[in-house]
Amino acid sequence: MITEPKDLDTRPAPSTGASEKTLRVLEAAILYDRFTDIVEETGLAKATVHRILATLVEQKFITGDSERGYHPGPRFLGLAGRAISRLDISFIAEPIVDALVREVDCTIHVGVVNGFEMVYVIRKDSSKPYRMASRVGLSMPMHCSGMGKAVLASWPREQVDRLVDEVGLPARTENTITDPARLHAELAEVRRRGYALDLGENENGTVCVSAPIRDHLGHVTYGLSISSIALEHPGASIEQFAPQAVAAADAISRALGASIEGARG
């Protein structure tokens, strides 16, 4: 006869309904501190919410009570910190980037801010016979790249001025923006339309349209670009892919935990 180990927990698993209710209350307690707001957000009975909150407090997922309000507890914060430390933008973004390549058939890049530079972390090529000169790990200036300008547009003016003071606006091509006033005007336009363009500013003969990617705090720390050659997409025709760039960047942002609606305000 086969016997089960003594330490095996044979208690029945909680029903799907109970688990869902617990998760709804936990999420509401993280977003709102007042008991009445948590009840309204979950749509559950007060007695049910109170019972679940008591369990979450006991298990240290949240702290507080109905009078003082609720806040994330040490157990939740510990798990959140570990989860954030394990975030891998390449792993998270890859399926979204792969789908975007199939949709637009252009080279797709994702880059991350590193000081006053952008560093490529993803490059996915199209089916076209040509290849971009970019590569994963390559850094590039922010003021003349689409991804860089998408990030700079989220910075306060004084931070952009610090970039100008410390690294300058060196010309990479005859189209590079080298005047601070013109750069500020360009960044205002990026903020207005929600995406940036690089029309041969970083490298002669290449063009791209880029969109900002936000992290879990809503900060623009990454960028996504749809890149091609000017021979195939002359002038500003690469701008036709702006909706796809923004949609893909927003999808990655959501996967990272960002609230796009709140960020766009």
Do 76 and 92 share a domain, yes or no? no
Instruction: Kindly state whether residue 3 falls inside one of the protein's structural domains.
Output: no
Instruction: Kindly state whether residue 166 falls inside one of the protein's structural domains.
Output: yes
Do 182 and 211 share a domain, yes or no? yes
Residue by residue, DSSP assigns 107-139 as EEEEEEEETTEEEEEEEE--SSS---S--TT-E
- What is the reported pTM? 0.71
Q: How far is CA 257 from CA 26, 177, 190, 211, in A?
A: 16, 33, 23, 17
Do 33 and 148 share a domain, yes or no? no
| Contact residues for 252 (Cβ-Cβ < 8 A; gap 6+) | 89, 92, 93, 96, 110, 213, 222, 224
* Least confidently predicted of 68-77, 173-182, 188-197, 248-257: 68-77
Do 195 and 221 share a domain, yes or no? yes
pLDDT value at residue 263: 57
Rounded Cα–Cα distance for residues 165 and 150 (Å): 20
Do 103 and 50 share a domain, yes or no? no
Do 202 and 75 share a domain, yes or no? no
Instruction: Kindly state whether residue 10 falls inside one of the protein's structural domains.
Output: no
76: domain CATH number? 1.10.10.10
For residue range 120-149, what is the model confidence (pLDDT) as tens digits?
Answer: 989 999 888 777 777 788 888 999 999 999
Residue 67 has pLDDT above 60, yes or no: yes
264 pLDDT tier (thresholds 50, 70, 90)? low
For residue range 158-170, what is the model confidence (pLDDT) as tens digits?
Answer: 999 999 999 999 9
Residue 191 has pLDDT above 70, yes or no: yes
Do 245 and 183 share a domain, yes or no? yes
Do 117 and 153 share a domain, yes or no? yes
Residue by residue, DSSP assigns 212-256 as EEE-TTS-EEEEEEEEEETTTS-TTGGGGGHHHHHHHHHHHHHHT
178 pLDDT tier (thresholds 50, 70, 90)? very high
Instruction: Kindly state whether residue 4 falls inside one of the protein's structural domains.
Output: no
Instruction: Kindly state whether residue 11 falls inside one of the protein's structural domains.
Output: no
Q: How many domains does one find in the chain?
A: 2
For residue range 81-123, what is the model confidence (pLDDT) as tens digits?
Answer: 666 555 678 888 999 999 999 999 999 999 999 889 999 989 9
**Tokens 């960044």 identify what position?**
187
Instruction: Kindly state whether residue 162 falls inside one of the protein's structural domains.
Output: yes
Smallest Cα–Cα separation from 130: which of 242, 230, 248? 230
Do 119 and 244 share a domain, yes or no? yes
What average pLDDT score do residues 59-80 get?
A: 81
Domain boundary among 84, 107, 137: 84
Residue 4 has pLDDT above 50, yes or no: no
Domain boundary among 68, 84, 100: 84
Q: How far is CA 102 from CA 106, 108, 250, in A?
A: 8, 10, 18
Do 113 and 80 share a domain, yes or no? no
| Contact residues for 130 (Cβ-Cβ < 8 A; gap 6+) | 229
- If one compares 115 and 191, the residue with the highest pLDDT of the two is 191
| Contact residues for 74 (Cβ-Cβ < 8 A; gap 6+) | 60, 63
Domain boundary among 56, 84, 112: 84
Domain of residue 232, residue span: 87-264
How many CA atoms are closer than 13 Å to the CA of 265, on its beta-carbon side? 4
Do 75 and 163 share a domain, yes or no? no
159: domain CATH number? 3.30.450.40
- If one compares 82 and 56, the residue with the highest pLDDT of the two is 56
